[in-house]
Amino acid sequence: MDHNATALRTAMIDTSASAETDFKRFLQVPWPDPAALGDRVELHRLCQNCARFFENRPFSHESSLCPFERSNLGDYYRFHGSLRNFCNSVERACHFCTMMWPILQAKLAARFDKSEPRDIMQQSVLLKIWLPPHGATRSSSSRHGVVDILCEDMMEAKVRTSKLSYRGASQVKFGHENGWYDWKRSETKYHGDHFHPAHTHTSTASEAHMALCRYWVEECSRKHSSCSLNKSDFMPTRLLDLGTDENDKISVCYPSRVGKVERYCTLSHTWGGVEDALQLRTTNIDALQKGVPLRSLPKTFREAAIVVRALTIRYLWIDSLCILQDSVDDWTREAGMMGSVYANTTCNIIASAARNPHQGLFSSRNPLTIYDCLVSGSIDNGTFANPWTDNSLFSIEPHLATRGWILQELTLPPRLLNFSADGISWACLHGEATEFQKDGVAVNLEQRLAFPLRRNYGRAVLDRTRELQRIFGDSVSHVDRTIGSIKTTYSGGLSELKIRRANRGWSDELFPETIDRYWRGLVHSYTACELTRPDDKLVALSAIVQQIRSLSGYTYKAGLWIEWIMSDLLWSSVHGPSATATTRPSKYRAPSWSWASVEGQVALRHPATAQRTEALADFQSVDCATHPLDTAGTGKVLDASLFLSAKLRRWTTGFTKWRSHSFSLRKGDRSFGDVYFDEGDFDHEDPRWREVYLCPLRKQDHSFTKVVNHAQVRIYGLVLVPHAGGQNHYQRLGIFDINMQANTIARIMTDDAVATDIVLR
């Protein structure tokens, strides 16, 4: 297609013919149905009405178009003479009308959810356009104009766009208000060769998408040395043998018996409460070894097999078909090796759009609602309407991003191939790519060291005003990931740590601080996720723990690192409007002093490497029992005890609740500290907690003065109660924080206290 202005005008759609419309049909999501669009759509194709409208350059301050009403929030223009005509244009695949339709559809559905209003199809459709002020620079946050759409009577009703979601609540991207589109002026950095033909297809099952998957895997394998840095000769115990394209059977095989298996893929998916999908069990393992029809697999697994075959790879690993689901011993043994399974995969395929195994890997979508629409000029130097959605190239759908196991499935593999509702995307150690940026961009994601499970995996914006460093393509011959040119990591910082450690990218003095920062971010993200089996709290993180342990040489017990034990013990529950109240399950899964003992999000708020700190207790040892088949000792905890020598202070004056999530420590009428209980609905008046002890662990100097004995210090510690396990055995209830002058704290907390050997359970 010739994308110059003349071709744009000749591609106009005739909407003069009237058509019978059904208002309720228009409110169905999705409408129009992507299946009715055919295999492909034509981008930048405008209806006659849009072509005439944009000829007058409404996106410019020099526009000859006069609004019929002005306001500080934008100028109102008549866009379509009636809603009927607008819907006709959408049905005939006008790119701009189709792009704007979901916004208007959401407003109509919200306002007229019960009955069709009279004459709604005859109402005018309006655009509200806001332009940035004259002189706005490229670096300005307001350099792009925005446009909204509404029906005429909505002006009087004052319908607010910002209260509406764009593609339905389940697909709202994080961090942006939805329902707006911005105008972006392209320059010479926006070229048609950025796009892959797959981006015009209405299904991610197209051959064009399979070709793009092959392109990414082959380019990365050939040109990115770092993406194969940690590969070993490891092979999973079992794999699915997909055979050949002509073979309709798949079978469970043992690589140790079939000879050398050079490459395999893995699959990340979510169960979504489904129980009828095929699983590997002791009762059917013989049949699965002999082979079963591919069609007997759930849809998501079948379609994953199609992708793996398209990559010319024969083997696939899926947890539920490669681990015996009714054998505790097999599950424990295989869970201990899961880190190696993902670390050595050729590519991890992510079923991001599927909420259960039956929904499928592939998606139908309407590219006209996803990709920029050229409204004026040429493709190389024109003006585009751009969906104001997630700026990330690589984005995981929320239902998958909140799954506990997904953290290691995103962190450990060298390559990720993501199938989302909107399309396919790629991530590796060098950068990210998608259908509209097929050669990818190298992006700087150093912040992943601190926040490893952001739901939006990427900060690379397709900014057409600057040159982007590509990671694939003819212009890229080979990419070495040296310290001087480190640009990206999708993997939550773990691979970044490995590469930097191997290349001596930081001094030994800085390494503990970086590991500590990464670990604290990891726990904060991980505990916000959900697990189908809560007992897997430590198991689902064990593969990453093993990698950190190998990298650092540190000792890990029940969710804590011994080298940082005094700071790790001071974890606390996360409170706030969006946080759920933490609870402690009745079934044992970790000792009370471990963050894994509670259900809910927690934070490690005290850096292990913080300055001006002093330990107020002496760590002695930890006894931690795990399953005999858990040879790494990083999985499920059966029992654990932590031995300390500490100065306990019995607290007899109780606590006063003064905020929704905290209590005040008081002596008489004076408050001098806070207590944060581990359980959100903790009943501090329960008779069981009458005998309460404060156990100081750490002192930190916060002085703002040099006056001797008047320095401001904080003491942090544990709130304990006796445990039935024996004398001097205690369990944790929460943490405390005291902030006073040093001499006052000494009198209250530690001067007359005697160090005692205690056991925390």
Q: What is the pLDDT of residues 520-530, one digit of tens each?
A: 888 998 898 88
Long-range contacts of residues 217-220, Cβ cutoff 8 Å, at least 24 apart: 217/311, 217/346, 217/347, 217/415, 217/417, 219/471, 219/472, 219/473, 219/476, 220/415, 220/428, 220/430, 220/471, 220/472
Angle between helices 48-55 and 95-111 (to 10 degrees): 100
- In terms of Cα–Cα distance, which of 420, 426, 454, 484 is closest to 227? 426
Higher local confidence (pLDDT), 195 or 7: 195
Q: What is the mean pLDDT of residues 199-227?
A: 93
- pLDDT band, residue 741 (cuts 50/70/90): low
- In terms of Cα–Cα distance, which of 136, 223, 217 is closest to 182? 136
Higher local confidence (pLDDT), 164 or 384: 384
Higher local confidence (pLDDT), 130 or 587: 587
Q: What is the mean pLDDT of residues 569-592?
A: 86
Cβ–Cβ under 8 Å, residues 493 and 452: yes
Q: What is the mean pLDDT of residues 726-736?
A: 94
For the ranges 138-152, 502-516, 617-631, the lowest mean pLDDT is seen at: 502-516
Angle between helices 494-502 and 511-526 (to 10 degrees): 170
- pLDDT band, residue 346 (cuts 50/70/90): very high
Q: Work out the end-to-end distance of the chain between its first and last CA atoms, rounded to an integer number of angstroms.
A: 71
Dihedrals phi, psi of 245, to nearest 5 degrees: -60, -30
- pLDDT band, residue 443 (cuts 50/70/90): low
Name the residue type at position 115.
Answer: S
Residues with Cβ within 8 Å of 398's Cβ and at least 6 positions away in sequence, in order, are: 170, 174, 455
For the ranges 11-25, 342-356, 639-653, 716-730, the lowest mean pLDDT is seen at: 11-25
Name the residue type at position 43.
Answer: L
Per-residue confidence (pLDDT) for residue 752, from 0 to 100: 62
- State the Cα–Cα distance between residues 383 and 183, nearest whole angstrom: 7
Name the residue type at position 159.
Answer: V
Dihedrals phi, psi of 746, to nearest 5 degrees: -60, -40
- pLDDT band, residue 595 (cuts 50/70/90): very high
- State the Cα–Cα distance between residues 498 and 492, nearest whole angstrom: 12
pTM: 0.83
Tokens found for residue 503: 């290349």
Helix or strand holding residue 320 (H, E): helix 319-322
Res. 450: pLDDT tops 80: no
For the ranges 93-107, 127-141, 203-217, 420-434, the lowest mean pLDDT is seen at: 127-141
Query: Residue ranges per domain, the chain?
Result: 5-164, 194-456+470-502, 511-760
Dihedrals phi, psi of 607, to nearest 5 degrees: -60, 135
Chain position carrying tokens 């039935």:
724
Angle between helices 83-91 and 95-111 (to 10 degrees): 130
Cβ–Cβ under 8 Å, residues 688 and 722: no
Cβ–Cβ under 8 Å, residues 196 and 325: no
Res. 12: pLDDT tops 90: no
- The overall average pLDDT reported for the chain is 79
Burial of 259 (0-12, 13-18, 19+ CB in 10 A): exposed
| Separation of CA 42 from chain center | 32
| CA atoms within 13 A of residue 179's CA, in its CB half-sphere | 20
Res. 47: pLDDT tops 50: yes
Res. 315: pLDDT tops 90: yes
Q: Strand 347-351 relative to strand 415-419: parallel, antiparallel, unpaired?
A: parallel
